[in-house]
C-alpha cells in the first residue's frame, strides 16, 4: 500500500478511494457489515475504525471489527434488539451476534475542545470519564495512535485519514496523536498498548513517543488492578509473549506489573529467573501458534515463581517444613501481587497447586509417584518442571524420569514404583483350642 495518508494544507483529511487501497468487504465480518448498513440506512454515519482497518490495510486478518458512528448509544440500542450498553468511562454499544461482538462507539470530542460535566480528568491529567460526543474529525484526533485513527466509510468504501496514519503504516512507525506526555497522562495504559502494537506489527516506536514511556511508567500505579489484569492477558496471550516481556523490561514497564518479580530479576543468580521466564514465554507462544490452550494460572506461576521460591527459602530458614514454607510463601506473594494486579481465584488456586506439586515431583519413586500422576494438575506441574529443568534449576534427568514414567504401561509403573518390595504373607490367626464342659 503506497497511497499517502497525510492531511493536506487545508486541514482536510486524505480520502483514499476504493481503487487505491486493498480493503475489501469480502474480508470484513458479515455481522459488522450488517451494523454498518443498518446505521447508514437509518441516516447515521457508519465507519469501520481502528485495528480492523489498520490490519486490513496491512493485509492481515483482523481479530475484531469496531465501528464509529454519530449515532448515540441509545440510538444504536433502538436500532438493534441484540444490543447492550456498557461502560461508564466510555459509554459503548455492543451488538451481539452469537459469540461475535461488534463494538459501536459514538464519535467523541477532543479532550480540550469542550467543557462538560460528562467529562472528568483527575489531577494527574488522567481521563476518568469521557462521554462528550463530537464529530468524525474530533474523534480521529482523540484516538491514541495514528495507525488506529483510520476510518473505512461504508457509503463510498473509501479510507479516511486525518492524522497521517497511512504514511506511518508505510514507514512501520507507531506514533501518538498529539503531545505524547499529555496523551500518556490521560491514559497510562497507552504505554502498554504501544508495546503490544509494536511487537505485533513489527513496527518501531517514534522517538517523540518513545522517550516519554520510561519516565512516565510509574503512572501505571494509578490504574485499577482489574484493568491491568486485562492488559496482561492481551500482552501475554496473543502470541507475542516473549517479545512483549523483553520490551516491557526495556521500557521499565514490567516492574509496574510484577514488582516482586522485577526485584528478583535485579539480583538473579546464574541468570536463572530471567531464563525461566524467557523459556515460559517462548513455550506460551509456541502453544498459541499450535492452537493449544494457555491458562493465566500457568503464566502467573512462571512470573511469580522466583519471588515465591525466595520467600519459601526464608521461611524454611526460620524453621518451617518445606511444604509449609511453600504454602505460606505462595499465599504471601499472591496477597502482595493482587494489590497491583487482580488475580481471580479460578487462576490463583491452580497456580498454588502447580507450585506445591514441584516438591512432590522432586521426590520420585514409590507409590507417591502414582498419586502425583493422578493429580488433576499434574500435566501443568510437569510442564512447569520441564521449564525449571531447561532453566537449570532442576536436573534434566528429573524431567526425563517423569517423561518416561508417563509413557510406561500400568504394569511397568508398578514395577518402577516397587522393584524390590518383598511380597508380604498374610499371617494366619492361631486356631483357638476347643474346651469341653466335663471332667
Name 248's Cβ contacts closer than 8 Å, sequence gap at least 6: 192, 195, 235, 254, 257
CA proximity to 370, closest of 339, 329, 413: 413
**Is there a catalytic annotation at residue 66?**
yes
Catalytic residue among 55, 66, 70, 285: 66
**CATH 3.30.460.10 in the chain, residue ranges:** 1-176
64 is catalytic: yes
pLDDT of residue 178: 94
Q: Using alpha carbons, select from 84, 68, 59 the residue that is nearest to residue 152.
A: 68
Residue 183 in contact with residue 177, Cβ under 8 Å?
Answer: yes
Q: 121 φ, ψ to 5°?
A: -125, 135
Of 141, 130, 137, 79, the C-alpha closest to 104 is: 79
Question: What one-character-per-residue DSSP string does 93-110 give?
Answer: EEEEETTEEEEEEE-B--
Say yes or no: domain 254-416 is CATH 1.20.970.10.
no
Q: Which pLDDT does position 365 carry in this prediction? A: 79
Selection from 308, 276, 278 nearest residue 388 by Cα: 276
pLDDT of residue 110: 73
Q: What are the start and end residues of each CATH 1.10.3090.10 domain in the chain? A: 254-416
**pLDDT tens digits along 235-280:** 999 999 999 999 999 999 999 999 999 999 987 666 666 789 999 9
Task: Give the DSSP H or E segment for 49.
Answer: strand 46-49
Query: From CA 234, how far away is CA 222, in angstroms rounded?
Result: 19
Is 404 noted as a catalytic residue in this protein?
A: no
State the fold for domain 1-176: Beta Polymerase; domain 2 (3.30.460)
Give 190's contacts (C-beta < 8 A, 6+ positions apart): 144, 176, 183, 184
Measured in degrees and rounded to the nearest 5, phi and psi for residue 185 equal -70, -35
Tens of pLDDT along 133-182? 999 999 999 999 999 999 999 999 999 999 999 999 999 999 999 999 99
Reported as type and span, the H/E element at residue 357 is helix 345-362
CA dist., res. 284 & res. 302, Å (int): 11
Copy the grid coordinates of residue 391.
532453566
Per-residue pLDDT in tens (0 to 9) along the chain, 439 residues: 545 555 444 468 999 999 999 999 999 999 999 999 999 999 999 999 999 999 999 999 999 999 999 999 999 999 999 999 998 767 899 999 999 999 999 999 875 544 444 445 555 555 445 568 999 999 999 999 999 999 999 999 999 999 999 999 999 999 999 999 999 999 999 999 999 999 999 999 999 999 999 999 999 999 999 999 999 999 999 999 999 999 999 999 999 999 999 999 987 666 666 789 999 999 999 999 999 999 999 999 999 999 999 999 999 999 999 999 999 999 999 999 999 999 999 999 999 999 999 999 998 877 889 999 999 999 999 999 999 999 999 999 999 999 999 988 666 666 655 544 444 455 555 555 444 444 3
Catalytic residue, chosen from 70, 130, 144, 187, is 144
- The burial of 290, by beta-carbon neighbours within 10 Å (0-12 exposed, 13-18 middle, 19 or more buried), is given as exposed
Amino acid at each position: 500500500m503506497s497511497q499517502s495518508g497525510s492531511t493536506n494544507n487545508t486541514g482536510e483529511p486524505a480520502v483514499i478511494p476504493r481503487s487505491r487501497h486493498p480493503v475489501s468487504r469480502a474480508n470484513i465480518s458479515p455481522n459488522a457489515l450488517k451494523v454498518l448498513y443498518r446505521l447508514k440506512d437509518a441516516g447515521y454515519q457508519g465507519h469501520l475504525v481502528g485495528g480492523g482497518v489498520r490490519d486490513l490495510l496491512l493485509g492481515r486478518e483482523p481479530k475484531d471489527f469496531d465501528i464509529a458512528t454519530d449515532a448515540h448509544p441509545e440510538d444504536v440500542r433502538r436500532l438493534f434488539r441484540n444490543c447492550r450498553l456498557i461502560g461508564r468511562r466510555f459509554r459503548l454499544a455492543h451488538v451481539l451476534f452469537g459469540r461475535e461482538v461488534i463494538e459501536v462507539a459514538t464519535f467523541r470530542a477532543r479532550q480540550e475542545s469542550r467543557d462538560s460535566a460528562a467529562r472528568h480528568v483527575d489531577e494527574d491529567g488522567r481521563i476518568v470519564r469521557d462521554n462528550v460526543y463530537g464529530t468524525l474529525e474530533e474523534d480521529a484526533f482523540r484516538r491514541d495512535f495514528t495507525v488506529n485513527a483510520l476510518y473505512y466509510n461504508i457509503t463510498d468504501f473509501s479510507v479516511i485519514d486525518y492524522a497521517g496514519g497511512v504514511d506511518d503504516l508505510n514507514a512501520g512507525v507507531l506514533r501518538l496523536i498529539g503531545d505524547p506526555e499529555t496523551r500518556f497522562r490521560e491514559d497510562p495504559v497507552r504505554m502498554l498498548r504501544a508495546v503490544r502494537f509494536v511487537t505485533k506489527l513489527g513496527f518501531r516506536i517514534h522517538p517523540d513517543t518513545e522517550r516519554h514511556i520510561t519516565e512516565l511508567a510509574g503512572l501505571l500505579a494509578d490504574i485499577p488492578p482489574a484493568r491491568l489484569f486485562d492488559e496482561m492477558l492481551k500482552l501475554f496471550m496473543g502470541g507475542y509473549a516473549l517479545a512483549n516481556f523483553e520490551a516491557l523490561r526495556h521500557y521499565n514497564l514490567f516492574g509496574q506489573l510484577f514488582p516482586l518479580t522485577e526485584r528478583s530479576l535485579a539480583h538473579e543468580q546464574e541468570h536463572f529467573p530471567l531464563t525461566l521466564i524467557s523459556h515460559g514465554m517462548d513455550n506460551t507462544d509456541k502453544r498459541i501458534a499450535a492452537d493449544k490452550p494457555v491458562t493465566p494460572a500457568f503464566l502467573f506461576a512462571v512470573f511469580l515463581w522466583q519471588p515465591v521460591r525466595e520467600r519459601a527459602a526464608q521461611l524454611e530458614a526460620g524453621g518451617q517444613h518445606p511444604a509449609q514454607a511453600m504454602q505460606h510463601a505462595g499465599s504471601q506473594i499472591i496477597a502482595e501481587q493482587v494489590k497491583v494486579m487482580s488475580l481471580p481465584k479460578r487462576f490463583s488456586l491452580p497456580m498454588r497447586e502447580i507450585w506445591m506439586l514441584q516438591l512432590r515431583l522432586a521426590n520420585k519413586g514409590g507409590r507417591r509417584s502414582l498419586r502425583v500422576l493422578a493429580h488433576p494438575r499434574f500435566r501443568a506441574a510437569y510442564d512447569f518442571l520441564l521449564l525449571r529443568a531447561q532453566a537449570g534449576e532442576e536436573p534434566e534427568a528429573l524431567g526425563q524420569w517423569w517423561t518416561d514414567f508417563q509413557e510406561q504401561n500400568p504394569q511397568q509403573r508398578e514395577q518402577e514404583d516397587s522393584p524390590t518390595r518383598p511380597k508380604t504373607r498374610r499371617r494366619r490367626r492361631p486356631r483357638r483350642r476347643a474346651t469341653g464342659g466335663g471332667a
